Amino acid sequence: MDIMGLVLQYIFDSVLYIECIVGIIMNFFIVAANFMKWKTMRSLHIGDKILSSLATSRFLFLLNVFMNFVPPLDTFWANRNLQVMSAMSVVTTFLHSTNLWFATILCVFYCVKITNYNWNFLILLKNKMSTFFPRFLLVSLLISLFSSLPFGWCIFILQIQNLTNLAMENVTLPKVGVQENFHNMFLLFLTGSCPPFLIFLVADFLLLHSLWMHTRRMRNSTSSFRSPNLESHFSAVKSMSLFLVLHILYFICSSVYFMSEVYDSGAEFSIISAVISSPPSLHSLYIISSNTQLKKIFISIFHGLKCCRQELEL
């Protein structure tokens, strides 16, 4: 690897570590805040349950990425055997799949809750949200598990026959290595990832279309362009547009990641890994910053930690 490639690898590895740490903290905070709400009220709204499930999945996904790229642990994984590599492949794919499905369920929940389409299916979901959506979470976990298990079979032992001249005799020495079937892995990735991604696109498009049409009607019927209701709808359009862009970015980079044979250097792998980790971290950070209750809790915890630090220094 040339010097420029090595510098790029170090830079994006550092970016990856920062993204993972920030994302782990943000998602852990979302889960902890909802847990405290559940502990106080002994119940959670279905939206908070879905958000907690997504935050838990993202927390584990980013923790998995971090553990595979931190230098001391990376050295350990470099000496892994076939069984460990297969298990890691299944776990990584399972966490990736749950991220896709939980994000899709959250988007569908927003679509069902906000839009006013007179479709029988959407009306049924709206009336039975507390019943259907927890089941959707459970079914998505099972689908993610069964779609991830075949990835363990795409890693196999490869024996390379080396011919060497030893004591004037040709001796064949087998060299055992670990090989990944990238072609089959990519096909499995598309099979498991395309359904939730397509559902997400449809739900997000319906939601954005409904919000935008409703916003236009409100703007035409009111004299004040900056009315509170209009501002809230613009904020919802901006939020879902950001969710859509980050989700598309995550899906595209994940597709490239599973085509590992296209990499020519470690720098390219580091860049792709850093970009993959950015959408879960950025979206969780945006959720906290746009949610008044979560933002207040986060600021109070931050001030509490700051005060504790000042007292310890004294």
Q: What is the pLDDT of residues 247-281, one digit of tens each?
A: 999 999 888 887 765 555 567 777 888 888 899 99
Which pLDDT does position 265 carry in this prediction?
56
User: φ and ψ at 162, to 5 degrees?
Assistant: -105, 130
Rounded to whole angstroms, what are the CA distances from 177 to 78, 132, 260, 266?
A: 12, 47, 17, 20
In a domain? residue 175: no
Distance between CA atoms of residues 22 and 20, nearest Å: 6
Q: Would you say 151 and 93 are in contact if contact means Cβ atoms under 8 Å apart?
A: yes
In a domain? residue 161: no
In a domain? residue 103: yes
The residue range of the domain holding 129 is 3-154+182-304
In the chain, how many domains are there?
Answer: 1
Give the pLDDT confidence of 164-178 residue by residue, as tens digits. 444 444 444 344 444
* pLDDT, the chain, mean: 78
Rounded to whole angstroms, what are the CA distances from 6 to 18, 189, 282?
A: 19, 29, 26
Residue 277's domain is classified under what CATH number?
1.20.1070.10
List the single range of 141-155, 282-296, 298-312 with lowest mean pLDDT: 298-312
Span between the terminal Cα atoms of the chain, in Å: 50
Report CA dihedral (76, 80, 86, 89) to the nearest 10 degrees: 30
- Reply yes or no on whether the pLDDT at 287 is more than 60: yes
> Which distant-in-sequence residues (6+ apart) come within 8 Å of 20 by Cβ?
62, 63, 65, 66, 69, 277, 281
In a domain? residue 173: no
In a domain? residue 186: yes
Which pLDDT does position 175 carry in this prediction?
41
Distance between CA atoms of residues 34 and 40, nearest Å: 10
Distance between CA atoms of residues 47 and 114, nearest Å: 12
Give the pLDDT confidence of 71-109 residue by residue, as tens digits. 555 555 545 566 777 778 788 889 999 999 999 999 999
In a domain? residue 176: no
Antiparallel, parallel or unpaired: β 155-166 and 169-180:
antiparallel
Give the pLDDT confidence of 222-239 residue by residue, as tens digits. 545 555 556 666 777 888
In a domain? residue 167: no
In a domain? residue 312: no
Share of the chain above pLDDT 90, in %: 27
